[in-house]
């Protein structure tokens, strides 16, 4: 039976709080892929009624993080094949993003991107004592999302957000077993430099190399997990 760490504070709407709490628990790995989600148990854990739980689960199901399986709801599992396909989607979308960023990003957006890289580098230096895997992955995706946001193309950003959720679910587990899966910030620095220079060819090549290297690290981690008897995450 799954267990959540703490009940909800009362700030935003109860539905939004419940949704965010469950979403964070899934993406952080507190709730694991394949875990069964029981409304009554979740309501007890979060100290809410079943109505906001039911609404939140429906939203998570629409987003593809929760699936109906054998008459009940479970957190989706992500296989090695899924990982390769997700990276292929990212490659197509993020090459388009860096190309557009080189052409469209404002000077302020480029400044924010540089700050994001610097923040991530500082965070990695104190990784062992202060930041969780989930927080480090959030820094990673913030960088990629800022590139997409700098293009002004909301459709592109929305598509990438959908992919990033599945990637977070995948990588929080592979990173737990192999921290080197998150060894990416030198690559981020090169991508950022290319965009700031508004050199689209350099930016596209850097993004492609970064995602191909990241895919290889994740697939290798999945193979280790498979060898240890954990086929999917």
Range in 39-48, 115-124, 193-202 the model is least confident about? 115-124
Q: Which class is domain 80-227?
A: mainly alpha
Q: Which residues of 13-51 are buried (b: 16+ CB within 10 A; e: fewer)?
A: ebbebbbebbbebbbbbbbebebebebeebbebbebeee
Architecture of domain 14-75: Orthogonal Bundle (1.10)
pLDDT one-digit tens code per residue, 67-124: 988 778 999 888 888 889 999 999 999 999 999 999 999 999 999 999 988 887 777 6
Given phi > 0 = left and psi -120 to 50 = alpha, else beta, which region is 97?
alpha
In this prediction, what percent of the chain has a pLDDT beyond 90? 49
Q: What's the mean pLDDT in 16-36?
A: 89
Q: Where are the domains of the chain?
A: 14-75, 80-227
User: Of 89-103, 159-173, 175-189, 205-219, which has the strongest mean pLDDT?
Assistant: 89-103
pLDDT at 182 over 80: no
Name residues whose C-beta falls within 8 Å of residue 52's C-beta, 6 or more positions apart in sequence.
Answer: 14, 15, 17, 18, 19
Q: Rounded to an integer, what distance in angstroms lies between the CA atom of residue 10 and that of residue 44?
A: 16
- Contact (CB, 8 A) for 72 and 34: no
Q: What's the mean pLDDT in 198-209?
A: 97
Mean pLDDT of the chain, nearest integer: 85
165, 181, 184: which is closest to 173 by C-alpha?
181
Give the residue, 210 or 223, on which the prediction is more confident. Answer: 210
In this prediction, what percent of the chain has a pLDDT beyond 70? 83
pLDDT at 9 over 60: no
pLDDT one-digit tens code per residue, 114-149: 998 888 777 767 655 455 777 778 888 889 999 999
Name residues whose C-beta falls within 8 Å of residue 61's C-beta, 6 or more positions apart in sequence.
Answer: 67, 68, 73
Q: Residue 167: its pLDDT value, please?
A: 87
Q: Residue 233: its pLDDT value, please?
A: 57
Q: Residue 177: its pLDDT value, please?
A: 55
Name residues whose C-beta falls within 8 Å of residue 135's C-beta, 6 or more positions apart in sequence.
Answer: 123
Q: Which residues pair with 73 in a beta bridge?
A: 37, 68
Burial label, 99 (beta-carbon count in 10 A; 0-12, 13-18, 19+) = middle
Collapsed DSSP state (helix, strand, coil) of residue 145: helix
Q: What's the mean pLDDT in 57-76?
A: 90
User: Of 10-19, 37-46, 169-178, 222-231, which has the strongest mean pLDDT?
Assistant: 37-46
pLDDT at 200 over 90: yes
């Amino acid at each position: 039976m799954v267990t959540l760490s703490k009940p909800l504070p009362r700030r935003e709407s109860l539905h939004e709080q419940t949704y965010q709490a469950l979403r964070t628990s899934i993406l952080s790995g507190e709730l694991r892929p394949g875990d069964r989600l029981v409304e009554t148990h979740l309501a007890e854990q979060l100290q809410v009624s079943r109505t906001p739980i039911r609404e939140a689960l429906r939203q998570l199901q629409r987003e593809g993080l929760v699936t109906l399986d054998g008459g009940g709801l479970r957190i989706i599992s992500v296989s090695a094949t899924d990982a390769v396909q997700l990276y292929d989607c990212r490659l197509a979308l993020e090459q388009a993003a860096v190309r557009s960023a080189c052409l469209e990003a404002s000077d302020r957006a480029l400044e924010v991107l540089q700050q994001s890289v610097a923040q991530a580098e500082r965070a990695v230096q104190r990784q062992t004592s202060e930041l969780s895997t989930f927080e480090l992955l959030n820094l990673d995706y913030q960088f990629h999302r800022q590139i997409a946001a700098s293009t002004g193309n909301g459709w592109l950003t929305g598509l990438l957000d959908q992919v990033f959720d599945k990637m977070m679910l995948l990588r929080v587990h592979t990173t737990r077993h192999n921290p080197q899966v998150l060894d990416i910030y030198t690559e981020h620095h090169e991508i950022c430099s290319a965009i700031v220079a508004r050199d689209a060819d350099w930016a596209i090549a850097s993004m492609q190399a970064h995602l191909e290297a990241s895919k290889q690290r994740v697939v290798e981690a999945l193979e280790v997990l498979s060898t240890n008897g954990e086929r999917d995450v």
